[in-house]
């Protein structure tokens, strides 16, 4: 049981009405976009500066009060749920774009800046920050989750696009993990240690990001195949030919049907690749022609170019709304999106086995949407949370999916993170010695275990 | 004083004649390619497997004996010098290419495999491992140093190209830092923590690497400019136009003269960019034309295309031998190569100030070679080690160079690492709080401080 009052009293002179125990606000901060039930923090504060974050963390360290960093709340594995109560530190008011350097193609922003806010700001510069998880997440949260999305095949994930971070450590100390040099062999790579740490090693308050030129020309296509396997094989060959696709997304017939219903589109309801090419006008044309040849060899049944920018936006909007579309086909139900990633050579086999398993066991709808250029896919189970049988079958299918993926050298999460929901797979994925090393680092930086407790790493007593 | 005999006695049943205290072998392992004086380990062992490495590390942990991992010995900041004696673990016999997966464009190799060995093996596959530090370094050593070279502007450094590692921790435990998925949000990023740790957190025994398709077409050019500044500005504009250069190297007139003398070339002795374009034949042509236009706008004085593959190889060979060429202009002297990296917008200014400083203070030759697409450059001082005045002036110039670079948001090492030589700059680059976090991680993983002691991190008593 957290004694929150002394902490609130101590922080009120600094925070004023920006710290609160109001139950509505606390409950709002105890929930994300996942299926995990809400658990509210005892208080929420809204810092305006890194120094204010540090003051709150120092006070929590003294009082041994759990801290939960909160960005946009768009995470999907329970990362912000206050399983031990405590103080939620909401960074959404830290929205300053501190610096954009067009010559260096980089920028520094406060953690609460969202990706759409940054891209609006960049419009005049000819630059963009392309990483796009669908939701309008905060850039601090995206770094903390090691997020990515449809265009990771081209631009990489947050792992490849964060140059350095400003972080408040669990002690309240403020550190900079690196400078602005594009490469460095100095120091241990604390930047990458913090990227993907899901708020368990510190609170990211500023993010220095690589930016990318907006492409001169863009062209997109939808290609239908008779089978998911044929589509996956076309993807592998495309990558091996070094065609620099900007996005290459696979959706199965069920997912396309859900999208058509939700987004009022009329895409052919077959296994489909959504593809985008970028570059100079001539290189885009060359890529597209080569890709067309590969698809023909894999017996694609139709090929729709959408050179028009509005039509392209509509197509990607529909793709990004796929998760909502999945949920909407069965009102009152939850679309539970898995998030696995396998070596690309195993992709068709893994998807095929997962589909067969679902066909055999699931009496509820299931569908597939995948960032297949990376081997990352979301198999989605649309279950009624009030039917324990459905929930049990879904969990059993998910367990088998993870076992299948790990046996193929893959990972239990490509981009959503571990949070609460996937800790049970960490031992299988990493083994006890590797988890022990992670836990040693956690304990070294957060000896009192106050930083987002109960997330990311499983309890050491379960594997030692 | 290390008591090596009990350790050797303990390991001899396992290692046989692959562990030795032979002074010649020990001295050979106490030196790298840097200016730092040789300090020999007390013994050297040559493991054949990860398990043998683990056995040696466990024994050293029990006996509290320092361990120095050794790859090809081509490092340049004293990383392998046995400053506290101990056991050198030479990984050069671990040369198995364990797995190449052309479909996934990745491979797993033992740490002693060199980059040229891997590329020879890959020749039939159409794939390559492009990271190229010049020397034929071992891939384990390249990972440990976070190495790169001329084509980092296109392919990134070891940071971007290591997918996962097998590592023997200072406890002797063996861990795998990750799987083969192209992206993952599981776990803390131990891969990147180990990449660049210079053997101070564990011994890398296997490396899983991204591979890249060999380009269909390659074209290279040498472009001469009237000034280094004009060349640097042409580089910035090239990057901003998103021309995907594969390499873009800047050499000043003095460096070109040294190369001509050493490599029997006859390049015009002016500030010169060495550039390479890769892709499809038409995209290479398009890139080259656009680049030509940019260079003309920056008043390049000559432009030599070398489409011929032999001529291109000769050009890059000459570039890679630049460090040896620098040393050769003054027999008996040392070419001390600095290795800084700044945001590209500050590159021309930083090089200009460094040149002015050298012209004012150095009575000995100095020259410049830089991987300027990343903002990384090597300013080289050719000094007589027997003239204390020269050595002092060189060190003073180097100190001022680092100060200048850090004030610009840069780093004291782009690709050579910290080793022995650059620990004194770590506090200025990172600050005490960040160094404290690095030291906490070091202590958590290596509580007895046996893993490559005296390297990378400065003594905590110097900053706390």
* Residue from the list A185, A426, A434 with its beta carbon closest to the beta carbon of B190: A434
Residue B307 pLDDT more than 80? no
> Do A282 and B286 count as a contact with CB atoms less than 8 A apart?
yes
**Per-residue pLDDT tens over the stretch A351-405:** 999 999 999 999 999 999 999 999 999 999 999 999 999 999 999 999 999 999 9
Residue A217 DSSP SS3: strand
- 8-state DSSP, B258: H
- Alpha-carbon torsion, ordered B268, B269, B271, B274, to 10 deg: 50
> Do B103 and A410 count as a contact with CB atoms less than 8 A apart?
no
Write phi, then psi, for A96 (nearest 5 degrees).
Answer: -85, 130
Interface test with B, best of A168, A185, A443 (most B CBs within 10 A): A185
**Per-residue pLDDT tens over the stretch B54-72:** 999 999 999 999 999 999 9
Q: How far is B341 from chain A (nearest CA, A)?
A: 6
Write phi, then psi, for A374 (nearest 5 degrees).
Answer: -100, -5
> Do A190 and B437 count as a contact with CB atoms less than 8 A apart?
yes
Residue A33 DSSP SS3: coil
**How does strand B334-337 pair with strand B376-383?**
antiparallel
Q: Which of A287, A58, A105, A444 is nearest to B286 (CA)?
A: A287
Q: Which residues on B lie below 8 Å from A418 (Cβ)?
A: 185-187
Pairwise pLDDT comparison (A359 vs A244), residue with the higher score = A359
- 8-state DSSP, A37: P
Contact present, A103 and A58 (Cβ < 8 Å): no
- Alpha-carbon torsion, ordered A167, A170, A171, A176, to 10 deg: -10
Domain B5-90 and domain B217-407, same fold? Reply is no
Give dist(CA A52, CA B208) in Å, integer: 42
Q: Which of A7, A23, A17 is nearest to A56 (CA)?
A: A7
- Kindly state the tokens that stand for A193: 């240690």
Q: Which residues on A lie below 8 Å from B458 (Cβ)?
A: none
Residue B280 pLDDT more than 80? yes
* Residue from the list B156, B187, B192 with its beta carbon closest to the beta carbon of A430: B187
* Residue from the list A180, A411, A445 with its beta carbon closest to the beta carbon of B186: A411
Residue A101 DSSP SS3: strand
- Kindly state the tokens that stand for A65: 């009060």
Strands of A76-156, DSSP E? 87-90, 97-101, 106-110, 127-128
* Residue from the list B280, B343, B418 with its beta carbon closest to the beta carbon of A186: B418
Q: Which residues on B lie below 8 Å from A428 (Cβ)?
A: none
Residue B145, C-beta contacts closer than 8 angstroms, at least 6 positions apart: A185, B75, B79, B137, B158, B196, B198, B415, B416, B417
Q: How far is B156 from chain A (nearest CA, A)?
A: 8
Whole-angstrom CA distances from A182 to A179, A186, A208, B376, B411 are: 9, 12, 11, 8, 9
> Do A159 and B189 count as a contact with CB atoms less than 8 A apart?
yes
Q: How far is A439 from chain B (nearest CA, A)?
A: 9
pLDDT computed for residue A309 by the predictor: 87
pLDDT computed for residue A409 by the predictor: 97
pLDDT computed for residue A329 by the predictor: 95
Q: How many CB pairs under 8 A join A and B?
A: 286
Angle in degrees, 0-180, between the axes of helices A432-445 and B432-445, rounded to the nearest 10: 140
> Do B101 and A345 count as a contact with CB atoms less than 8 A apart?
yes
What is the torsional sign of CA B176, B181, B187, B190? positive
Residue A130 DSSP SS3: coil
pLDDT computed for residue A217 by the predictor: 92
- 8-state DSSP, B458: P
- Residues A238-243 have a mean pLDDT of 87
- Residues A64-74 have a mean pLDDT of 97
Angle in degrees, 0-180, between the axes of helices B347-361 and B228-240, rounded to the nearest 10: 160
Partners of residue A451 on adjacent β-strands: A67
pLDDT computed for residue B226 by the predictor: 94
Cα of first residue to Cα of last residue in chain B, in angstroms, is 27
Residue A307 pLDDT more than 80? no
Residue A270, C-beta contacts closer than 8 angstroms, at least 6 positions apart: A224, A225, A226, A253, A256, A301
Chain A residue with CA closest to B172: the answer is A433
> Do B445 and A440 count as a contact with CB atoms less than 8 A apart?
yes
> Do B101 and A283 count as a contact with CB atoms less than 8 A apart?
no
* Residue from the list A185, A212, A441 with its beta carbon closest to the beta carbon of B196: A185
Query: How would DSSP label each residue in B62-125?
Result: HHT--EEEESSS--SSSTT--TT--EEEE-TT---EEEEETTTTEEEEETT-BHHHHHHHHGGG
Give dist(CA A199, CA A141) in Å, integer: 9
Give dist(CA B421, CA B440) in Å, integer: 22
| Per-residue burial over B312-322, b = 16 or more CB atoms within 10 Å of its CB, e = otherwise | beebbebbbbb
* Burial status of residue A241 (CB atoms within 10 A of its CB: 0-12, 13-18, 19 or more): middle
Q: How far is B412 from chain A (nearest CA, A)?
A: 7
Q: Which residues on A lie below 8 Å from B434 (Cβ)?
A: 175-177, 187, 190
Q: Determine what percent of chain B is predicted with pLDDT higher than 70.
A: 100
pLDDT computed for residue B445 by the predictor: 98
pLDDT computed for residue B302 by the predictor: 85
Number of C-alpha atoms within 13 angstroms, CB side, residue B353?
A: 14
Centre a 10 Å sphere on the Cβ of residue B328 and count the other Cβ atoms it contains.
17
Number of C-alpha atoms within 13 angstroms, CB side, residue A419?
A: 30
Radius of gyration of chain B measured on its C-alpha atoms: 22
Give dist(CA B401, CA B412) in Å, integer: 9
Q: Which of B182, B187, B184 is nearest to A427 (CA)?
A: B187
Residue A464 pLDDT more than 80? no
Contact present, A77 and A420 (Cβ < 8 Å): yes
Give the DSSP H or E segment for B223: strand B217-225
pLDDT computed for residue B14 by the predictor: 98
Q: Where residue A17 falls among pLDDT bands split at 50, 70, 90?
A: very high
Number of C-alpha atoms within 13 angstroms, CB side, residue A344?
A: 26
- Distance of alpha carbon B429 from its chain centroid, rounded? 19
**Per-residue pLDDT tens over the stretch A392-415:** 999 999 999 999 999 999 999 999
Give dist(CA A440, CA B201) in Å, integer: 12
> Do A242 and B213 count as a contact with CB atoms less than 8 A apart?
yes
Q: How far is B331 from chain A (nearest CA, A)?
A: 30
Q: Which residues on A lie below 8 Å from B57 (Cβ)?
A: none
Q: How far is A24 from chain B (nearest CA, A)?
A: 31
Block residue for tokens 């100390």: A173
Q: Which of B395, B399, B400 is nearest to B381 (CA)?
A: B395
- Residues A313-322 have a mean pLDDT of 92
> Do A213 and B241 count as a contact with CB atoms less than 8 A apart?
yes
Chain B residue with CA closest to A416: the answer is B185
The angle at the Cα of A156, spanning A150 to A159, to the nearest 5 degrees, equals 120
The CATH class given to the A5-90 domain equals alpha beta
Partners of residue B302 on adjacent β-strands: B224
- Residues B187-193 have a mean pLDDT of 98
Interface test with B, best of A205, A339, A437, A463 (most B CBs within 10 A): A437
Mean pLDDT of chain A: 96
Q: Per CATH, which fold does B97-213 belong to?
A: 3.30.465
Q: Which of A69, A70, A68, A78 is nearest to A35 (CA)?
A: A78
Q: What superfamily in CATH does domain A217-407 come from?
A: FAD-linked oxidases, C-terminal domain (3.40.462.10)
Give dist(CA A317, CA A315) in Å, integer: 5
- Kindly state the tokens that stand for B340: 């800084």
* Residue from the list B105, B181, B212 with its beta carbon closest to the beta carbon of A414: B181
Domain layout of chain A by residue ranges: 5-90, 97-213, 217-407, 423-458
Residue A308 pLDDT more than 90? no
Residue A1 pLDDT more than 90? no
Q: Which residues on B lie below 8 Å from A374 (Cβ)?
A: 181-183
> Do B181 and A215 count as a contact with CB atoms less than 8 A apart?
no
**Per-residue pLDDT tens over the stretch B12-59:** 999 999 999 999 999 999 999 988 999 999 999 999 999 999 999 999
> Do A177 and B434 count as a contact with CB atoms less than 8 A apart?
yes
pLDDT computed for residue A303 by the predictor: 87
Write phi, then psi, for A349 (nearest 5 degrees).
Answer: -60, -45
Residue B445, C-beta contacts closer than 8 angstroms, at least 6 positions apart: A437, A440, A441, B169, B170, B201, B202, B451
**Per-residue pLDDT tens over the stretch B388-413:** 999 999 999 999 999 999 999 999 99
Give dist(CA A86, CA A67) in Å, integer: 6
Give dist(CA A288, CA A245) in Å, integer: 9
- 8-state DSSP, B231: H
């Amino acid at each position: 049981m957290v004694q929150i009052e002394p902490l609130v009293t101590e922080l009120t002179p600094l925070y004023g009405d920006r710290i609160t125990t109001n139950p509505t606000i606390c409950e709002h901060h105890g929930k994300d976009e996942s299926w995990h039930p809400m658990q509210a923090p005892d208080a929420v504060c809204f810092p305006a500066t890194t120094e204010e974050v540090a003051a709150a963390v120092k006070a929590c360290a003294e009082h041994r009060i759990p801290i939960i960093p909160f960005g946009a709340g768009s995470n999907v594995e329970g990362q912000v749920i206050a399983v031990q109560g405590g103080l939620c530190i909401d960074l959404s008011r830290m929205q300053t774009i501190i610096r954009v350097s067009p010559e260096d193609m980089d920028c520094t922003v406060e953690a609460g800046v969202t990706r759409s806010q940054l891209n609006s700001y960049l419009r005049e510069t000819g630059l963009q920050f392309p990483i796009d998880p669908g939701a309008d997440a905060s850039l601090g949260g995206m770094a903390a989750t090691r997020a990515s999305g449809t265009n990771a095949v081209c631009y990489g994930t947050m792992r490849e696009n964060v140059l350095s971070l400003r972080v408040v450590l669990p002690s309240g100390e403020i550190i900079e993990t690196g400078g602005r040099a594009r490469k460095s062999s100095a120091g241990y790579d604390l930047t990458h240690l913090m990227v993907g740490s899901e708020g368990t090693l510190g609170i990211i308050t500023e993010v220095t990001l690589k930016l990318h030129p907006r492409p001169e020309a863009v062209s997109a296509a939808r290609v239908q195949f008779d089978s998911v396997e044929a589509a996956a094989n076309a993807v592998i060959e495309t990558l091996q030919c070094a065609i620099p696709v900007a996005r290459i997304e696979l959706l199965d017939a069920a997912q396309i049907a859900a999208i058509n219903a939700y987004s009022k589109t009329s895409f052919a309801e077959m296994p489909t690749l959504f593809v985008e090419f970028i570059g100079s006008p001539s290189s885009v044309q060359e890529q597209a022609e080569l890709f067309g040849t590969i698809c023909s060899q894999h017996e694609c049944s139709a090929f729709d170019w959408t050179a028009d920018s509005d039509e392209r936006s509509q197509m990607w909007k529909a793709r990004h709304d796929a998760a909502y579309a999945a949920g909407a086909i069965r009102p009152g139900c939850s679309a539970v999106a898995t998030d696995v990633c396998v070596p690309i050579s195993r992709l068709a086999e893994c998807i095929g086995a997962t589909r067969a398993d679902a066909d055999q066991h699931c009496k509820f709808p299931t569908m597939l949407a995948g960032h297949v250029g990376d081997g990352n896919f979301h198999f989605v189970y649309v279950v009624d949370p009030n039917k324990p049988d459905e929930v049990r079958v879904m969990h059993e299918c998910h367990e088998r999916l993870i076992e299948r993926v790990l046996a193929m050298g893959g990972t239990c999460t490509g981009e959503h993170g571990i949070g609460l929901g996937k800790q049970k797979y960490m031992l299988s994925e990493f083994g006890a010695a590797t988890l022990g090393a992670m836990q040693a680092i956690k304990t070294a930086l957060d000896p009192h275990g106050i930083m987002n407790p109960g997330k990311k790493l499983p309890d050491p007593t379960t594997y030692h």
